[in-house]
Amino acid sequence: MTEIAKYSDMEVYCKATECGIGDKLYCSSLIGDLQEAAERSSNSVGYGTDFLKENSICWIILKMRLHFTELPSWHETFRIRTWSTELDKFYYGRDFEIYSSDNRLIGMATSTWILADWNTHRPVIASKRPELPPPTIQDPRLVFGENCPKLRFPARNDIVTASDKPVIIKYADYTELDRNRHVNNSRYTAWAYDALFKHGYDVSKIEDIVINYNSEVMAGEKVELFICEKDSKISVFGYKDFDTKVFAAELSMKQG
């Protein structure tokens, strides 16, 4: 029997096209890199996307928290370490650590996923699918000591009136779509940053983001974003079709 590695490492080269002001990696690009590392790690334990697609199954991420002390710089090669942390009937946990080119821990993340039917996106229970290998926990260690939180996501009418205009409007144009023909969830982080930037926030001070994903956005659909601030946290809520909840993000800024 092949021994399962306790974690998986992936090196990432930071390209100029993935960087913004200050030559720092976009947070949305980093989240995309985390998910690439997750896919590779899942493949190593028998749950890679190619194998799953052959069985009409896919991974769907439900929520993620990312905290970082700094973002990688252009030309830097950084390292992502990831491992599966837990599983139950539906939910699969996966955590991450991010290391700089000089091997300093500069970030960490936690996430929750489900296996779902490729066509309907209804949850799949692995134990009821004999063609799937037994799911594996690589290491139960949680980088934050807890699972990714579930955010409060109010109805649109509870935060704005019908006459209030969104901070920004986004569309599911061609370059926003992924291989599944919907907006990739990493783009929602980019949209949240755009909303804060347009509203006048210094997005370079963001150090922590929690994001929950509620609804898919398909080609051509429109998403309206609103901002709410409470205490030291800023929330960005995205809605389509007026009041269908798409995503909720809670961002925290460095103090001082």
**What are the extents of the domains in the chain?**
8-128, 156-253
Summarize pLDDT for 118-153 with one digit per residue, the tens: 888 899 998 888 998 888 899 999 999 999 999 999
CATH 3.40.50.300 is held by the domain 8-128:
no
The position carrying tokens 């973002």 is: 71
Which residue, 66, 64, 74, is CA-closest to 27? 66
Question: Quick one: which H or E segment has residue 86?
Answer: strand 77-87
Contact 83, 99 (CB under 8 A): no
- Token pair in block for residue 205: 């001070």
DSSP secondary structure, 14-28, as one string: --GGGB-GGGBB-HH
pTM (predicted TM-score): 0.94
Amino acid letter, 164: D
3-class DSSP state of 166: coil
3-class DSSP state of 49: helix
The neighbouring-strand residues paired with 234 are: 229, 251
Summarize pLDDT for 21-70 with one digit per residue, the tens: 999 999 999 999 999 999 999 988 888 889 999 999 999 999 999 999 99
Summarize pLDDT for 166-175 with one digit per residue, the tens: 999 999 999 9
Rounded to an integer, what distance in angstroms lies between the CA atom of residue 195 and that of residue 227? 8
Query: Can 8-128 and 156-253 be said to share one CATH topology?
Result: yes
Structural class in CATH, domain 156-253: alpha beta
